[in-house]
């Protein structure tokens, strides 16, 4: 270490002072200096206290190997919590740490203020630690192999939760769903006595809607359910209590990570923007300036044929700042934009947007051209650039961020074929599923549901049904 | 600090040396990889490019069970957004069918298509396979042949030959003595300081083994039969080389008569005609008697055939096997019999009730592994069929 503890502390208060003057709003910070293997452990697990599973070990091994071979390096890791924990790589130089301290402050500001994070548990470090302990106790009670195999199944569907914020997740979903079913059943059994003015209502309804909706009476769930993990946890008949408990704990963890998945570009862009602005305010020696420039460029450099989220996010934020600082006359006239409001606009965006709306609203034609973005796809054996229309590029980027990049799958029927089988439906919007992965994932769902499972999707423009009954796979073309 | 305002932060550096979770789960993953390889052993044992090689290569093993399967989009059928240097054109070719180069193309997490197989070196594979095998019926052979002498310096004494003086320890003694007498440093080495290295004689067990690889090369032995036999001999040779310092292999091919051939001829040459197995057993006996005295060799005759034999010859075969068993550690008979027909040889051999006679019928490639395990399994009693 080429700096003292006091030097680092002094640098941090200096940086916080500058960050405060810019209006960044963050939680109390806990900086922890740790060796590389610890940083990589946290990177692989997403959280220092997360439960044990071989798949994390696999990721850790891969990441650590890349580090050992000098292929990649994580300088920092920051946790969405209050207080906010940031882990600095032991061996960072003082100027590297200054950049990182500034960078994580902006991340923390983002965690604290972006709307998507408003429902996240800020005590997740403790919660995950409790989860890990509980899983550990289940291992002792039911055997490590049994628990591990069960977690394998859960991880296979972990992305399929419902992260909607509008419908408060604290509300008991099962109660809500059953209440609704009960009401429909009631109404069906005892239709309200016709009042004398009821014929007035029927003037509004179209003829075909007049017959009572019997499908919603029997349908289970009454409307397609996005939260597959929750649905299985509540309604699978083959699970024991400890298994439901694990499902519910892992679902909580996924809901905690979800906002980070859907704001990756914004969050990294925001942090990169601010570390640059903050470091510019510091008095640096010329050596430090060069070292800073080196690290900064390695963080935000565009990479060949791929999109660096740090770079893309940074460029969009800079573009927002420029456009709102210097609106064109037309923008001033039509939208009433007043020059010099760049920063203000940026803070608004960091509060209200996620990657999808961020890209859709602020990735402009000029930026797409400036960044030389393009669409590529596979044609025969070759990967080719096929489109440079800026709207298509923007829409493609947006599409790739829908549902965190995972296919959107819902529970269509929890009593399929009237025999308790599970029918899932892929909400196809032009992106096909990987069929090999699909056929390997269905058995995991089967193990959780305990009855045959089916998934409807679209293959080559035809509706197709994939089934697994515990023994064998079946594919059926439906239309 | 000199900063006027107190900012709310803490910098700490804990001792993380006990945080081993990453390594523990990494180890669990590696255990699972080994499990997969172990499950794949039957296939790997007959893997063509291992058997046909010099055995010095890296083998790739698919890890289907260790893929983290989930519902994902089809990467190949998708459009992706990429970034160019500023002059990209529609129609530019980015790469040939290697999605890896465009992996990061999407700002999301791409599924790990790249971890479908693991590599294992020949040594690791051998270690894993041989871990399950054991040499049966090892016999003590003549002492002179089994042992050889070597010397090893392993002790320090105060008396000894000047040429074996241990300078470092002598200096250390001198330092110690001077220090206790209050005059630290190296000076005045006395005879009391001198230390000598001494040696002891050790006995390294040395033993020899010979494999008599016998195979039916008559017309009825097809490519499949020969391949199974070949993979078996490949692993058996390697296994015995692990156990013995020197392993000789004698290749004996036979149809109606037997002759000693080279390895290449053994595996490639096909002959036509009928089969008389007793010819090769007689040949094996002759070779043992003339070249490999059982008193100093562990002898492992193995015979591979498709089971066809001249019926009238069976009795002679049984008698000769009896003779061989007197001289050998064990006798292995492997029958490659794809269609599980009843064979003449088996009908006779089934009745041999000697624990050193072991037979196995291979019906498909994967069973070569089972055959190895049958012949070399860790046994307690006899070999029941």
Which of A306, A379, A411 has the most B C-beta neighbours within 10 Å, making it the best mutation to test the interface with B? A306
Q: What is the DSSP letter of A338?
A: P
**What pLDDT, on the 0 to 100 scale, is given for residue B382?**
39
pLDDT digits (tens, 9 = 90+) for A13-61: 999 999 999 999 999 999 999 998 899 999 999 998 999 999 999 899 8
pLDDT confidence of residue B147: 54
Are the Cβ atoms of B71 and A34 closer than 8 angstroms? no
Q: Identify the band that residue B88 occupies on the pLDDT scale cut at 50, 70 and 90.
A: confident
CB B253 within 8 A of CB B263: no
Which range has the top average pLDDT, A10-24, B69-83, B172-186? A10-24
- The C-alpha angle with vertex A292 and arms to A286 and A297, in degrees rounded to 5, equals 130
pLDDT digits (tens, 9 = 90+) for B56-70: 667 777 776 678 899
* Best mean pLDDT range from A27-36, A167-176, B105-114: A27-36
B100 touches chain A (CB under 8 A): no
B-chain CB neighbours of A16 within 8 Å are 7, 9
- Min Cα separation A199/chain B (Å): 49
Residue B84 at interface with chain A, using a CB cutoff of 8 Å: yes
> Domain B208-375 belongs to what topology?
Rossmann fold (3.40.50)
Q: Of the segments A198-207, A469-478, B149-158, which one has the largest average pLDDT value?
A: A469-478
Reported as a pLDDT band with limits 50, 70 and 90, residue A206 is low
Cα A395 from Cα A390, distance rounded (Å)? 9
> Would you call B90 and A387 a contact, using CB atoms and an 8 Å cutoff?
yes
For residue B303, pLDDT over 70 is answered with yes
| pLDDT value for B310 | 82
Q: How far apart are CA B47 and CA B36, in angstroms?
A: 16
Residue A193 CB-density burial (10 A; 0-12 exposed, 13-18 middle, 19+ buried): exposed
> What would the pLDDT profile of A95-111 be if each residue is shown by its tens digit?
999 999 999 999 999 99
Q: Give pLDDT, residue B336.
A: 87
Give residue A396's pLDDT band: very low, low, confident or very high (50, 70, 90). Answer: very high
In terms of Cβ atoms closer than 10 Å to its own Cβ (0-12, 13-18, 19+), residue B223 is exposed
Instruction: Dig out the tokens for A394 from the structure.
Output: 């923007």
How far does CA A105 lie from the centroid of its chain?
Answer: 21
Q: Percent of chain A beyond pLDDT 70?
A: 91
The number of beta carbons lying within 10 Å of the beta carbon of residue A279 is 23
pLDDT > 80? residue B32: yes
Q: Which residue has the higher pLDDT, A353 or B39?
A: A353
Interface of B with A in 109-148 (CB under 8 A): 109, 111, 115
The pLDDT of A350-362, averaged and rounded, is 95
> Residue A74: pLDDT band by 50, 70, 90 thresholds?
confident
Predicted pLDDT of residue A348: 96
> What gap in Å lies between CA B326 and CA B357, rounded to an integer?
11
Instruction: Compute the average pLDDT of residues B190-194.
Output: 88
Does the CB of B75 have a partner CB in chain A at under 8 Å?
Answer: yes
Q: Do A12 and B11 touch (CB under 8 A)?
A: yes
Top residue of B8, B21, B101 to mutate, by most chain A CBs within 10 Å, is B21
In this structure, what are the phi and psi dihedrals at residue A168, rounded to the nearest 5 degrees? -65, 130
Contacts of B27 in chain A (CB under 8 A): 57
User: Is A383 in contact with B94 (Cβ distance < 8 A)?
Assistant: yes
Q: Which of B306, B300, B234 is nearest to B267 (CA)?
A: B234
Among A13, A405, A440, whose Cβ lies nearest the Cβ of B69? A440
Q: Is the pLDDT confidence value at B103 over 50?
A: no
Between A210 and A259, the more confident residue is A259
How near does any CA of chain A get to the CA of B227, in Å?
33
Q: Which burial class, exposed, middle or buried, applies to B340 when counting CB atoms under 10 A from its CB (0-12, 13-18, 19+)?
A: exposed
Which of the four pLDDT bands, split at 50, 70 and 90, describes residue A201? low
Is B18 touching A (CB cutoff 8 A)? no
* pLDDT above 80 (res A5): yes
Give residue B116's pLDDT: 61
B74 with A432: Cβ contact below 8 A: yes
Residue B342 forms contact with A (CB below 8 Å) = no
Q: In the prediction, which pLDDT does B107 show?
A: 31
pLDDT at A106: 96
The size of the A-B interface in CB pairs under 8 A is 273
Q: Is the pLDDT of residue A242 over 90?
A: yes
Task: Kindly list the domain boundaries of chain B, sorted by start residue.
Answer: 23-68+117-131, 145-204, 208-375
Contact in structure between A251 and A176 (CB atoms under 8 Å): no
B209-253: per-residue pLDDT in tens?
A: 788 889 888 777 777 888 888 888 888 888 877 777 677 888 898
Buried b (16+ CB within 10 A) or exposed e, A240-270: eebbebbbebbbbbbbbbbbbbbbbbbbbbb
Q: What is the mean pLDDT of chain B?
A: 78
pLDDT bracket for residue B206 (50, 70, 90): low
Nearest to B107 among A52, A265, A432 (CB): A265
Structure confidence at residue A212 (pLDDT): 47
Point out the least confidently predicted range of A250-254, A464-468, B112-116, B184-188: B112-116
For residues A8 and A6, give the distance between their C-alpha atoms in angstroms, rounded to a whole number. Answer: 5
Which tokens belong to A73?
Answer: 């390096």
pLDDT, greater one: A399 or B219: A399
Q: Which long-range contacts (CB under 8 A, 24 or more apart) does A395-399 make?
A: A396/B79, A396/B80, A396/B81, A397/A307, A397/A359, A397/A363, A397/B81, A397/B107, A398/A356, A398/A359, A398/A360, A399/A429, A399/A430, A399/A431
Please give the average per-residue pLDDT across A315-343, as a whole number.
Answer: 91
């Amino acid at each position: 270490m080429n700096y003292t503890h006091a030097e680092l502390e002094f640098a941090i208060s200096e940086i916080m002072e500058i960050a405060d003057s810019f209006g960044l709003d963050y939680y109390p910070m806990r900086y922890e200096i740790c060796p590389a293997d610890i940083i990589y452990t946290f990177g692989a697990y997403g959280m220092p206290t997360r439960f044990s599973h071989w798949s994390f070990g696999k990721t850790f091994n891969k990441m650590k190997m890349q580090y050992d071979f000098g292929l990649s390096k994580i300088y920092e890791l920051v946790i969405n919590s209050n207080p906010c924990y940031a882990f600095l790589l032991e061996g960072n130089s003082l100027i590297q740490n200054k950049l990182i301290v500034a960078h994580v402050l902006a991340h923390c500001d983002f965690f604290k203020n972006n709307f998507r994070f408003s429902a996240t548990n800020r005590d997740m470090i403790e919660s995950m630690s409790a989860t890990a302990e509980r899983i550990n106790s289940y291992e002792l009670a039911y055997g490590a192999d049994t628990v591990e195999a069960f977690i394998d199944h859960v991880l296979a569907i972990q992305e399929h939760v419902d992260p909607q914020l509008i419908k408060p997740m604290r509300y008991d979903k099962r109660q809500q769903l059953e209440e609704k079913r009960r009401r429909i059943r009631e109404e069906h059994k005892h239709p309200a006595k016709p009042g004398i003015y009821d014929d007035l209502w029927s003037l509004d309804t179209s003829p075909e809607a007049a017959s009572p909706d019997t499908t919603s009476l029997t349908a289970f769930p009454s409307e397609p359910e996005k939260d597959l993990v929750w649905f299985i946890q509540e309604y699978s008949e083959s699970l024991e209590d400890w298994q439901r408990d694990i499902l519910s704990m892992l679902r909580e963890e996924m809901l905690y990570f979800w906002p980070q998945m859907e704001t990756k570009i914004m969050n990294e862009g925001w942090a990169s923007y601010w570390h640059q602005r903050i470091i510019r305010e510091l008095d640096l020696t010329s050596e430090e300036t060069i070292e800073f420039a080196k690290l900064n460029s390695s963080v935000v450099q565009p990479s060949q044929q791929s999109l660096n989220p740090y770079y893309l996010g940074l460029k969009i934020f800079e573009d927002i700042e420029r456009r709102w600082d210097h609106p064109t006359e037309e923008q001033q006239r039509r939208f009433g934009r007043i020059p010099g409001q760049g920063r203000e606009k940026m803070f608004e965006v960091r509060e209200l947007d996620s990657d999808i709306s961020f890209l859709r609203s602020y990735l402009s034609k000029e930026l797409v051209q400036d960044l030389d973005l393009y669409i590529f796809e596979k044609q025969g054996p070759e990967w080719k650039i096929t489109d440079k229309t800026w709207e298509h590029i923007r829409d493609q980027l947006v599409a790739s961020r829908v549902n965190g990049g995972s296919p959107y799958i819902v529970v269509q029927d929890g009593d399929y074929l009237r025999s308790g089988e599970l029918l899932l439906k892929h909400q196809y919007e032009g992106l096909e599923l990987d069929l090999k992965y699909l056929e390997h994932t269905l058995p995991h769902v089967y193990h959780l549901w305990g009855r045959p499972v089916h998934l409807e999707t679209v293959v080559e423009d035809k509706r197709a049904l994939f089934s697994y009954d515990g023994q064998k796979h079946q594919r059926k073309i439906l239309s | 600090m000199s900063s006027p305002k107190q900012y709310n932060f803490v910098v700490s550096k804990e001792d993380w040396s006990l945080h081993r979770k990453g390594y523990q789960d990494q180890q669990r993953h590696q255990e699972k990889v080994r499990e997969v390889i172990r499950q794949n052993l039957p296939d790997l044992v007959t893997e063509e490019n291992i058997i046909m090689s010099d055995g010095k290569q890296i083998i790739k093993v698919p890890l289907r069970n260790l893929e983290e399967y989930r519902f994902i989009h089809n990467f190949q059928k998708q459009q992706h957004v990429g970034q160019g240097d500023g002059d990209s054109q529609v129609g530019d070719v980015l790469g040939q069918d290697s999605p890896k180069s465009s992996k990061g193309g999407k700002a999301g997490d791409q599924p790990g298509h790249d971890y479908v197989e693991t590599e294992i070196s020949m040594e690791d594979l051998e270690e894993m396979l041989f871990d399950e095998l054991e040499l049966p019926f090892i016999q003590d052979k003549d002492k002179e042949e089994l042992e050889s002498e070597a010397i090893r310096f392993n002790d320090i004494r105060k008396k000894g030959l000047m040429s074996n003086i241990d300078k470092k320890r002598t200096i250390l003694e001198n330092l110690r003595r001077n220090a206790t007498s209050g005059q630290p440093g190296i000076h005045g080495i006395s005879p009391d300081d001198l230390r000598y290295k001494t040696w002891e004689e050790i006995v390294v067990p040395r033993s020899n083994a010979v494999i008599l690889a016998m195979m039916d090369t008559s017309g009825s032995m097809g490519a499949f039969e020969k391949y199974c036999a070949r993979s078996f001999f490949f692993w058996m040779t390697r296994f015995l080389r692990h156990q013995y310092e020197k392993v000789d292999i004698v290749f004996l091919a036979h149809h109606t008569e037997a002759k000693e051939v080279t390895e290449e001829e053994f595996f490639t040459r096909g002959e036509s005609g009928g089969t008389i197995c007793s010819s090769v057993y007689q040949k094996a006996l002759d070779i043992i008697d003339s070249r490999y005295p059982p008193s100093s060799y562990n002898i492992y005759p193995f015979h591979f055939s498709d089971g066809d034999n001249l019926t009238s010859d069976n009795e002679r075969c049984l008698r000769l096997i009896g003779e061989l068993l007197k001289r050998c550690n064990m006798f292995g008979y492997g029958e490659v019999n794809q269609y599980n027909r009843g064979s003449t040889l088996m009908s006779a051999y089934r009745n041999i009730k000697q624990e050193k006679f072991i037979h196995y019928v291979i019906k498909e490639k994967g069973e070569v592994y089972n055959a190895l395990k049958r012949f070399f399994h860790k046994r307690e009693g006899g070999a029941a069929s």
